[in-house]
Structure 1
Amino acid sequence: MASCLETDWDDSEWDKSGKGILWKPVSLTHVEYPAGDFFGKIFAWFSLLPVFLLVSFVTLIAFRRELHTITFFGGLVLSELVNWVLKNIIRQPRPCRGHDVVFSEYGMPSSHSQFMWFFAIYLVLFVYIRIQYTSSSSSSIIDIAWKHVVSVGALVVAAIVCYSRVYLHYHTSQQVFMGAAVGTLLAIPWFIFTQLVLTPLFPVVASWPISERLMLRDSTLIPNVLWFEYTSARAEARARQRKLQ
């Protein structure tokens, strides 16, 4: 088996001495980009988005204890497991002119692409189907515009992450496309499963003694959680202030 996958990239990427590009890692990470390449540095940071999202999910779960957030995170973990299985079945190497440090020698499908497209597609479905507002016509226009902005933004960012993996020579175009396709095909049934099977069980799960001890909660029936929490906290603060006076 070849140690890397031959590609048709331009030979101008090699210097006159015959040595390869000098790859520079992003600070405190393993992601490398060509030294002196401004766009490469930008794409390297975009390539780190899955790591940032994982940290954000863990933080969100730890502080909010929302059941739907936990199931969303569970779907991402399941997607990563499927990616690992597919990589070890297909066993296609990464492209040549690659990097000294990678977590896996196999590149098909791209785990970054699969992660980001699972996240983006699930988020789009969540925004348009799960989030429902009961508001006036004027504010509903703003809500619809907000949904469009979030959905388009998620898809654009996912596409940029995919391109960054090819630009930085971590994957070929085929590996990235396969990762995006697998992530999309996993996100849709997971959302349907969460919506039709898990969501009706959330009130039961939230009432378990262990859930109460862990302070797990279900906010499915609350249309705007942020506004609800804001008004609840403000009302409680005012009530306590009156008692002190």
Structure 2
Amino acid sequence: MGAADELLGEDVVWVPLSLTLIEYPQGDLLGKLLATISLMPFAVLSGFVTLILFRRDLHTIVFFGGVVINELLNYVLKHIIQEPRPMRRDTLYSEHGMPSTHAQFMWFIAAYMTLFVIYRLHQISEKFWRILIVLACIASALLVTYSRIYLQYHTYSQVTYGAIIGAIVGIAWFIFVHNILTPIFPVILTWKLSEYLLIRDTTLIPNILWFEYTHVRSEARTRRKLVSMKSQ
């Protein structure tokens, strides 16, 4: 008997943390690939957390707020509709399948990013990169959506409604952020909490990567000169 059994008792039933446990037909290489692709929402969420922690950009935080609202809406709809999935699995954390969480999540991201590229990244001269970003978002949403059908986690109607709801929420959230929240970003930055958390707004900077690169390079050169002068 293990230490945990002694502490909790012999009648304890152990269950797996099934949030990321994706099943696929044994020996099916396409199924294995789609099962991996189906984990893409977790990679996106990890990226959000990383960006928020290390960049502290206000728009990224607001974007993530829309993701949270979209997920809460999905949770509420699932427990109101209570439509079962096409295949019952013991390792699922939710037996309800309408609408598909994965489809709603990915199409929220795809819709929001498409509008973001069109209206907020129009300063970038390389049209190729703007088109590539949009196509990558849509292709990712399509692949994840298809993977949920192929792996029999959802029906066609469940992923279709999930995609429609996610796209609608993504469009609505972008309109709200673009027209309502963005104009008050300067006010939000004056709050003591924003200063304490080092929150910043890069909305008006067209190419943040180039901006940071040039400023870091300039600052490094200045500091090297100061170190050189002190050592003489």
Q: TM-score, normalised by structure 2?
A: 0.88
Q: In structure 1, which of residues 85, 110, 123 is the aligned counterpart of residue 113 of structure 2?
A: 123
Percent identical across equivalent pairs? 53
Determine if the alignment matches structure 1 residue 34 to structure 2 residue 6: no
1:167-206 correspondence to structure 2 within 5 Å: 167-206=150-189
Provide the C-alpha distance between the structure 1 equivalents of 2:47 and 2:25, rounded to a whole number of angstroms.
28
Q: In structure 2, which of residues 48, 64, 75 is the aligned counterpart of residue 84 of structure 1?
A: 75
1:133-182: CA deviation from partner (whole Å, max 9, x where unpaired): 27xxxxx2xx1111101101110110010000000010001000000000
**What residue identity is the alignment partner of 1:234?**
R
**What residue identity is the alignment partner of 2:113?**
L
Provide the C-alpha distance between the structure 1 equivalents of 2:193 and 2:69, rounded to a whole number of angstroms.
24
Contact between 2:121 and 2:130, CA under 8 Å: does it hold in 1? no
**What residue identity is the alignment partner of 1:235?**
S
**What residue identity is the alignment partner of 1:206?**
L
Provide the C-alpha distance between the structure 1 equivalents of 2:55 and 2:79, rounded to a whole number of angstroms.
36
1:175-207: CA deviation from partner (whole Å, max 9, x where unpaired): 000000000110111000000110011111112
Provide the C-alpha distance between the structure 1 equivalents of 2:153 and 2:201, rounded to a whole number of angstroms.
40
Contact between 2:82 and 2:98, CA under 8 Å: does it hold in 1? yes
Aligned to 1:18: none
Determine if the alignment matches structure 1 residue 54 to structure 2 residue 45: yes
Q: CA deviation at 1:208?
A: 1.5
Determine if the alignment matches structure 1 residue 224 to structure 2 residue 207: yes
Q: Which runs of 5+ in 1 are unaligned?
A: 1-27, 135-139
Q: CA deviation at 1:100?
A: 2.1
1:96-245 correspondence to structure 2 within 5 Å: 96=87, 98-133=88-123, 140=125, 143-245=126-228
Contact between 1:87 and 1:106, CA under 8 Å: does it hold in 2? yes
Contact between 1:32 and 1:99, CA under 8 Å: does it hold in 2? no
Provide the C-alpha distance between the structure 1 equivalents of 2:123 and 2:44, rounded to a whole number of angstroms.
26
Q: Which runs of 5+ in 2 are unaligned?
A: 1-18
Structure 1 window deviating more from structure 2 (203-212 vs 224-233): it is: 203-212
Q: TM-score, normalised by structure 1?
A: 0.84
Provide the C-alpha distance between the structure 2 equivalents of 1:110 and 1:215, rounded to a whole number of angstroms.
36
**What residue identity is the alignment partner of 1:240?**
R
Aligned to 1:19: none
**What residue identity is the alignment partner of 2:57?**
E
Contact between 2:57 and 2:201, CA under 8 Å: does it hold in 1? yes
**What residue identity is the alignment partner of 1:228?**
F
Count of residue correspondences: 212
Q: CA deviation at 1:210?
A: 1.5
Structure 1 stretches of 4+ with a deviation exceeding 4 A read none
Provide the C-alpha distance between the structure 2 equivalents of 1:37 and 1:156, rounded to a whole number of angstroms.
22
Provide the C-alpha distance between the structure 1 equivalents of 2:198 and 2:121, rounded to a whole number of angstroms.
23
Q: CA deviation at 1:109?
A: 0.3
Contact between 1:133 and 1:223, CA under 8 Å: does it hold in 2? yes
